Structure 1
């Protein structure tokens, strides 16, 4: 019986993710809605995001091991950014457009899982961007995304 590949394996390799996010962030910087949000991003931002998503999709742990990143650190990058739903939608639109342009796998199963993660992650980014402190425990594990995850229901703590 043939082993089901991880999303990372189905996408390609680390170079696939680096090309995707390098091409994508070049568009973001030129975008009227998103350009100001990212104009001061670190020179390493693109690589960090490529490593993060590749790891979440089952690739090598470059984000946690090489970049000394964590899920809490990624969440922390969004704190206080006050992102809007309009910006989130534009970010998703540009990423999916870029995925098509670079020839990222487009079979329904892969794209469904890819879009599911992007929707989940960007919606969490908007929620966390409204906060002033990082709600995530520093020991929280990295998310792992596969062929059917939804991330579970989002249940914010009640005040």
Structure 2
């Protein structure tokens, strides 16, 4: 899924689906042992990790596996409704995912890390906002986010 000017997608630059699946599997093994996050995630379904890996991979320019599995941006947002996540939860989630990326030696170039962390910051802030809602306040047909080498996500409008 290389772009027209031969610049690889973030998905390709990271190493493809096996990297995203391992990243999320390793990450959630930490989450389930984390005092702050374990209570939130201890009841997640057996397929949760794969769905998250496929969602992030798709956002970063990978195959539309998450969408093909029946997922959508609005369905991901809905999973956070009523969870009452805090800024402390959000920061810890990002911290553990970045630590896992470091341990796996995901690309360390500033361009990739900037895009990677920018997406984590953007996505987790949306998760916190929506976790304090009880109903979906977005268009259910809103397309999946697409993240690349420095494009901003735009202002958040529910």
Pick the TM interval, shorter chain.
Answer: over 0.9
Is 2:59 the counterpart of 1:50? Answer: no
Question: Which stretch of the first structure deviates more once superposed, 131-140 or 147-156?
Answer: 147-156
TM superposition score normalised by structure 2: 0.95
Which of 89, 93, 101 matches 2:103?
A: 101
- How many residues matched? 155
How far the C-alpha of 1:116 sits from its partner, in A, is: 0.4
2:22 match: 19
What is the aligned partner in structure 1 of residue 86 from structure 2? 84
Report if the CA contact (8 A) 1:63-1:70 is conserved.
yes
- Structure 1 unaligned spans of 5+: none
Unaligned runs of 5+ in 2: none
Which residue number in structure 1 is paired with residue 113 of structure 2? 111
TM-score after normalising by structure 1: 0.94
The Cα shift of 1:150 comes to 1.8
Question: In the TM superposition, what whole-angstrom CA distance separates every residue of 1:10-55 from its partner, at most 9, and x where no partner exists?
Answer: 0011000000000000000000000000000010000000000000
1:21–1:46 contact (8 Å) kept in structure 2: yes
CA displacement at 1:154 relative to structure 2: 2.5
